[in-house]
Amino acid sequence: MTADELPFNNSFAELPPAFYTRLMPTPLPSPYFIAASTPAAALVGLDPQALAQEDFVTVFTGNKVAVRSQPLSAVYSGHQFGVWAGQLGDGRAIVLGDLPTANGPMELQLKGAGLTPYSRMGDGRAVLRSSIREFLCSEAMAALGIPTTRALMLTGSHQRVMRETVETAAVVTRMAPTFVRFGSFEHWLYRGKQAQRGGDELKILADYVIKNWYPEFLGSANPYKELLAEVTRRTAHMIAHWQAVGFMHGVMNTDNMSILGLTLDYGPFGFMEAFDANHICNHTDQGGRYSYANQVPVGHWNCYALGNALLPLIGTPEDTEEALDAYRPAFGAKLDELLHAKLGLFDARDGDSALFDDMFKLLQANHADFTLFFRRLGDLQLDGGVEQDAPLRDLFIDREAFDAWAGQYRARLRLEHSQDALRRTAMHRSNPKYVLRNYLAQTAIEQAQNGDFGGVHKLLAVLERPFDEQPENESYAALPPDWAAHLEVSCSS
């Protein structure tokens, strides 16, 4: 199949014109291939090797439009850092259309494809640095089993783009069943209020989402209430997954929240290293709104913003509130399930919450490395002692405090007659050895900026198998070097 033969459709283009602007991507000079994801390509039936060919590079940079593509950029609004920001939209993203898959259509979108009517003061471009981060993290999160948008491929150009410094341009082809956001609904609520008229577009959009992704609600007495409740549950589950792996999004604005409960828009994200529940991964977030600990309540706040947008369709504040009540139990149950798996506990017992709480207090007091702690915990032996515990124990300054908690943990394991080998296997399937630490991304970025994309390819291959031992790649699981403490990511990342 050539790029021109891609069987694009575009269900979003069937909505009224008020929902989007049809436009063509802006070409980049001399685009070149950087990388493609084999698992993502498989989802849409494409050969990852073929993606490196010129015709695919041309189409997936935006220099040519495939015959059946219907490019457009969507309008939406949103709350940014808790403040209503008004109209936003795809300021540097252009939808090409959707491709058929075994699990339904998958929408393909070029991020960094040029100016759109929603670019505001932006230039419509993405830079190599941020594009590498989004490409790698999208696929790393998928390999971790966390709901996420996907990244098909990455292309670049030597065209200069100004951020804090002069950088070069890049385009990420990203994929999701839909890129409709919480802010897509907020947009029509506020537009309707301003125009002092009914929310026809709000209903059209909700019906479109329900028909295509929540058809089980079509016969419901109140499908909009069911939609809100299910999106709330999915969002709670997604954030529980984030917390369990130490992922921090960095910009949980309502325009960055997926109506499908997918991790959406990778900017100033980070994976927890030295544990600090108040850690802020986004240098722009001076107030700490999107700190690790705050992700849980902010996720709930964002669901309330969606509920407010859907209220005219749901009908009553009581029904809306009832749908939103799904958040806390859904989050708690999912996180409890994930923590039991991370600690190799095969059943739930009284006192487990206290064990988990004491563990997080221990991690906080010692700022132990989050990923290494859980991975090495899988190697703990039921009858082991100080010597056998050394690799894990040495992550803690207060080793006596660790010994005390380890005693609690071993006592709990004995209650269910835990077996070391079985537990280790199970825990290593739940606790990754490899995550996209900022210093690993930065090293690959600096190599790429000098024309060497080998680091991107290598890191992608490692992150596609995060739970495997990969002894040949042991260095990718190491504690961050001292210089990594000075790395900062911001909203321009």
Active site residues: 255
DSSP state at residue 9: B
The packing angle between helices 399-415 and 352-366, to 10°, is: 160
| 50: amino acid identity, one letter | A
Strands 166-176 vs 150-162: parallel, antiparallel or unpaired: antiparallel
Query: Which residues are CB-neighbours of 484 under 8 A, at least 6 positions away?
Result: 273, 437, 438, 439, 442
> In 3-state terms, what secondary structure has residue 218?
coil
Paired strand residues for 271: 247
Which stretches of 102-165 are assigned E, i.e. beta strand? 106-111, 126-127, 150-162
Q: How many residues does the chain have?
A: 493
Residue 83 and residue 20 in contact, taking contact as beta carbons nearer than 8 Å: no
Q: Which residues contact 197 (CB under 8 A, 6 or more apart)?
A: none
Q: What three-state secondary structure class fits 167?
A: strand
The Cα-based distances of 76 to 79, 342, 350 in angstroms read 11, 38, 46
DSSP-derived secondary structure letter, 353: H
Long-range CB contacts for residues 24-27, cutoff 8 Å, separation at least 24: 24/62, 24/65, 24/71, 25/61, 25/62, 25/63, 25/65, 25/71, 25/94, 25/110, 25/113, 25/114, 26/62, 26/113, 26/114, 26/115, 26/124, 27/61, 27/62, 27/63, 27/114
Question: Per the structure block, which two tokens stand in for 385?
Answer: 């002692």
Residue in the block written with tokens 């269900």:
11
Instruction: Write down the residue that tokens 């490019």 correspond to.
Output: 71
DSSP output for 418-483: --HHHHHHHHHHHS-S----HHHHHHHHHHHHTT--HHHHHHHHHHTSTTS--GGGGGGGSPPPGG
Distances (CA, A) of 471 to 173, 271, 394, 475: 32, 22, 21, 9
